[in-house]
Chain A
Amino acid sequence: MSEKKGRGSRKSDRAAAAVAAELKEKRDAFLQSFFKRGAELSDELMQENRRLREQMGKIEAENTELRTQLASDRAIRDLLKKIDQLEREKARLLSTVSEQEEITGQITNRFAQVEGDLESFANLYVASFQLHLSLRLRTVLRHIKELLQQLVGARSLAVYFADEEGRRLVPIASEGVELASIATVLLHDGGDGDPVSAVIERTFLTGVPHITEGPVASVPAACIPLQIEDRVVGAIVVFGLLAQKVEFVTVDRELFKLLGAHAGATLVAAYLYTSGDGRLPAPEALRSLLG
């Protein structure tokens, strides 16, 4: 029995060993499969990790790009803002330049005006100075003629004086034309058809100067009434101008005004002084006239 028991026991041992072996085999297979699966999972995880890293890299790159773009956008915005500021500054400067140009233009005009005035004053000063420099009739007439020639540019001219009755205007001096060839102008007779005489007569009777506007083409170029206070006593007639003198300018009109107002009185004073042989009035005579 114990033999039997022994045989049985050996049998069961073999079975147990077979089971154990089978179990071991199963365990080994399981472990092998487990580790294989683990390795596969690790691989997958590694791959996923790599993929995620790559994705993260891409996202980071995109992020950087976006940041750069954002910074660039900011820079552009700043630049646009700066451009806008500069545009405003440019507009302000242009406006200032325009204002300055306008001011410069005004100053230039004013300067030209002052230059013109200065020239006018200089001519008037010299004319007035020379006109009243002498009381000799011949000298006064010479100065009047010279003034018209040198300062105005008259080529031919005559000075007329009215007779006591106011019926005739008689030429008393001339330049550039023979005195003998100049006709006396008869006043109040309706004119003899001569246009020059007509202008002289009209100027004398109305007291209104005749001064050609624009380029001088007709004769006389100018006719200026000589006045003593409100009385017209004669006329200065400019028949023609020097070739280079095309038209009258402002300063000429001012000189005509001066001559019209002063030359008549100067001529009368010079006549009285010259005919009195330069004798001066006695103080008593002056006082009696004032009294």
Chain B
Amino acid sequence: MSAPPYSCLVVEDSPMMRQLLVLALSRVKNLRVTEADDGVDGLRKLAGGKFDIIITDINMPIMDGLKLVKRVRTDPTHKDVPIIIITTEGSNEDRKRALELGANAYITKPIQAPQVIAKVKELLKIEA
């Protein structure tokens, strides 16, 4: 059996949110999901593989999501990988900052699975 054509890295310190995201993303066909529980773990996972999309929280211990975005955008291997921020921070300044750093989408918690699925499909150019 061949590997799914798309791979997604979910970086989230809350096991509950990770579980919820993995559950939601399981509804996207041909998408393999890898979990990381903070920014550093995320970078480690990125170094060990190739990813087509990254979903990350902002508030995380050790390395937050914004630092991760910054690092990814300077990494020659992953600099063009679409990044979705999923966070409780709902202010316009937070959104602006994340998008300026290079995030492609910004979704606030509590999440709605169809919204996340639609955004992933849009960024991966998967037909609905």
Contacts and interface: CB of A to CB of B under 8 A. Distances in A.
Interface stretch (A28-36, A123-131, A223-231, A267-275): A123-131
Nearest to A130: B16
A122 B88 contact: no
Interface residues of A, number: 22
Nearest to A112: B114
A1 interface: no
Interface stretch (A47-55, A82-90, A239-247, A283-291): A239-247
A143 B113 contact: no
Contacts of B90: 242-244
Interface string A108-128: 000000010011001101110
Interface in A132-182: 143, 146-147, 149-153
Interface in B1-40: 14-17, 19-20, 23-24
A242 B108 contact: yes
Contacts of A130: 15-16, 19
Contacts of B91: 243
A136 to B, nearest CB: 14
B76 interface: no
Nearest to A243: B90
Interface of A: 115, 118-119, 122-123, 125-127, 129-130, 143, 146-147, 149-153, 242-245
B23 A122 contact: yes
Given A119-B113, A243-B91, A151 B108 contact: no
B111 to A, nearest CB: 8
Given A122-B24, A150-B16, A242-B108, 18 more contacts: A115-B114, A119-B112, A119-B113, A126-B20, A126-B23, A146-B14, A147-B16, A149-B109, A150-B20, A150-B88, A150-B110, A151-B16, A152-B110, A153-B88, A153-B110, A242-B88, A243-B91, A244-B108
A119 B114 contact: yes
A179 B126 CA distance: 47
A127 B109 CA distance: 15
A288 to B, nearest CB: 37
Contacts of A125: 23
A266 to B, nearest CB: 15
A257 B128 CA distance: 34
A22 B110 CA distance: 145
A150 B19 contact: no
14 contacts: A119-B113, A122-B20, A122-B113, A126-B19, A126-B23, A130-B19, A143-B16, A150-B16, A151-B20, A151-B110, A152-B110, A153-B109, A242-B90, A242-B110
A245 B112 CA distance: 12
A150 B110 CA distance: 6
Contacts of A129: 19
A127 B23 CA distance: 13
Nearest to A148: B110
Contacts of B88: 149-150, 153, 242
A118 B113 contact: yes
B23 to A, nearest CB: 5
B42 to A, nearest CB: 18
Given A242-B88, A243-B91, A123 B20 contact: yes
A121 to B, nearest CB: 9
Nearest to B17: A150
